[in-house]
A and B are shown apart, each in its own frame.
Chain A
């Protein structure tokens, strides 16, 4: 880590310990999101880290972002995910938007005053995204959107939504991307999903009922929606990977701390070889997944995107986070199963990392496709 990155990590550590950690248990139980915490992260520059300075961002790279997300995830996967999804939306607008769109939508998002959300999934199209059914019908001056988007992270709390809807034929080529802001007539939100984890981050259905969206909100052009949606994919997989690494890191530290304190059979349980084997494996897997995520981020920053490595980073880091947090509960025994200690929450938060941004089954298919292509040349 360079000097800047160390400073970034330290300031985020102070922030999370002062503003996130004290409410972590309560806010998980109450499913309570704090906008002031998100805005506080915005003041530290995190919410627009990878966006150009022209639009209020910091113009930094994904390696820097990974360090930041890792640190936030140590106290809250939910806030880290809110930041990461909002940044993905900004990345899309920066990459595919025209100058007017960038000037209009990016500054509120880079500053962290507002949140961005990404609307692709529907109840019957999750992994099979290109079969989506939400329609955008061309009318004079714009489009009328109809349909329901499901599993939308930050649904209801976000201001700016990038929405994929069908303007043409079946399949990927008939999909277009739109920017829609909260407050637009015809845009509403379904009930908050009841989830196993990520309880601080609200997940809602986003509903479009005869929702008129002006022409200037179309991103890139008709039929370009899938290009737009896929444009955020590699970065999204790296950021989910880095959140998984932060979660694993905390799970390892909590396990070391507890096992050195907890006495059974007149010695700290850490002194049992069975525990040492477990904790060493946890730490080792965590470090390995960190290196893989950072490698993928470095390549992305260097302009040498490697989609296979991005998928591998997401797959490995999230599988490791699931394993490591499950073992952390185990190291803590009975107290680990209670809400008094953070590890049970961490285990619940880990599971969905294996599902979002392409399930780990889909990652395996992507990796296999690349391997086949590499072999066949």
Chain B
């Protein structure tokens, strides 16, 4: 069974304080204005969490999925949008480079990413290839010692603020012939398209990466040409565990808000918490959140112990965001008219959480993964 080590407990305390002092007070503003809390993001570098899974040799914390998911929960309670940007940086960019890049590439890119001097993003989805990610059509064609890249990446968290992009491309006709590049914005390796306006996660910038005949030296490639499919699938596992951590944080924040409100709000001459209908809602959402926490952290612990594979991560990603949406909708309901207004955070938490049923693979794709793997077991 999972447990937090002393180091993880210490980190949880630090992250909880940071979320309360540096993130929460600005969350509503960044949601309303669709802006990015870059000050808090850079300070996460000082906190030591931007390279949570990276090797200490490059300035990382050298911790695992359990610690990373715990950070997501703590930050997610305060501002899921900023936490999603943190995830795109630390898990999609940094963790991928840590696990797949050469020693030279790591030495070149990780130190600035873990301090927050550079911001990272990852490019996988395209306008026509979302759920069907392996079908991507952004092409990298060998030309002498360089590659010429053409195509567009869509839904890229951090695109507008990124310095480094970890990008998947097609290098051959075979469906699985995919290759990865680490690209630098300063060197003109990519352009950023228009920002995308969203229902929630508005504190997290989303944009397009555009490649219009860009020439990139072959040393930007990660690993061998055509060999990326395995590590693309591999990183999705930790991505799905950690993004579920954001939903866990959202669910816990909703429970906390509801308890506070039910003890304050008076109707019919008493606190609404004295009504059984309200008690049922709170008891159920708190129970579900506790189940989510134990399910998720247990899977993370097992992942860190070496028990990897697509199924359990997909199970967490299917169940936890779905339950969190239900909890957040109930939290609005419990707050009545106030819950629908932007004076209370629960409507934002609900809008933010809906993304987690779509991003990193939709619920429907999770079902496909789980079923396909289970049905093909002999």
Which A positions have Cβ atoms within 8 angstroms of B? 29, 121, 124-128, 131, 150-151, 193-197, 263-266, 269, 272, 274-275, 322, 326, 329-330, 333-334, 336-340, 344, 347-348, 351-352, 354-356, 359-361, 364-365
The answer to whether A333 touches B351, judged by C-beta atoms less than 8 angstroms apart, is no
User: Which 5 interchain pairs have the tightest Cβ spacing?
Assistant: A128-B267, A344-B199, A196-B347, A194-B342, A264-B132
Contacts of A150 in B (CB 8 A): 337
- Let me know if B367 is at the binding interface, CB within 8 A: yes
Q: Specify which chain B residues have a CB less than 8 angstroms from the CB of A322 in the assembled complex.
A: 329
Does residue B128 face the partner (Cβ distance < 8 Å to A)? yes
Which of the listed residues B341, B342, B363, B368 has the most CB atoms from chain A within 10 Å of its own CB? B341
Q: How far is the CB of A7 from chain B (nearest CB, A)?
A: 36
Asked if residues B197 and A339 are in contact (CB atoms below 8 Å), the reply is yes
- Within B31-48, the residues touching A (CB, 8 Å) are 32
How many angstroms between the C-alpha atoms of A336 and B130 in the bound complex?
A: 12
Roughly how many angstroms separate A364 CA and B359 CA in the complex, as a whole number?
A: 35
**Chain B residues, Cβ within 8 Å of A354:** 333
Contacting residues, chain A, for B343 (C-beta < 8 A):
194
Q: Which of A330, A338, A356, A365 contacts B199 (CB 8 A)?
A: A338
Query: Which residues on B are within 8 Å of A, measured CB to CB?
Result: 32, 125, 128-132, 135, 154-155, 196-200, 266-269, 277-278, 325, 329, 332-333, 336-337, 339-343, 347, 350-351, 354-355, 357-359, 362-364, 367-368
Beta-carbon contact of B125 and A339 below 8 Å: no
> B198 contacts A337, CB within 8 Å?
yes
Contact A151 B337 (CB under 8 A): yes
If the complex has contacts A275-B364, A355-B340, are A333 and B333 also in contact, measured as CB distance less than 8 A?
Answer: no
Known A-B contacts A264-B131, A334-B155, A348-B351; A361 and B332 likewise in contact (beta carbons under 8 Å): no
5 examples of A-B residue contacts, CB within 8 angstroms: A128-B268, A194-B342, A196-B332, A265-B131, A351-B350
Q: What is the bound-complex CA distance between A194 and B28, given in angstroms? A: 12
Known: A263-B128, A330-B358, A338-B196. A194 touches B341 (CB 8 A): yes
Chain B residues near A356: list those with CB within 8 A: 337
Q: Are A197 and B277 closer than 8 Å at their CB atoms?
A: no
Chain B residues near A194: list those with CB within 8 A: 32, 341-343
| In the complex, chain A residues whose CB is within 8 Å of the CB of B354 | 326, 329, 337, 347
Alpha-carbon gap, A361 to B155, bound state (A): 38
| Contact A274/B367 with A127-B336, A354-B333 known, Cβ cut-off 8 Å | yes
In the docked arrangement, what's the CA distance between A265 and B197, Å?
27
**Contact (Cβ within 8 A) A127 B198:** no
Residues of A within 8 A of B342 (CB): 194-196
For residue B267, which residues in chain A have a CB less than 8 angstroms away from its CB?
125-128, 131
Q: Shortest distance in angstroms between A350's beta carbon and chain B's nearest beta carbon?
A: 10
In the complex the two chains form, is B268's CB within 8 Å of A196's CB?
Answer: no
Minimum distance in angstroms from B239 CB to a CB of chain A = 15
**Chain A proximity of B89: nearest CB distance (Å):** 20
Distance of A128 Cα from B271 Cα, bound (Å): 12
Closest to A150 in B: B337
A355 close to B329 (CB less than 8 A): no
What is the bound-complex CA distance between A150 and B358, given in angstroms?
Answer: 36
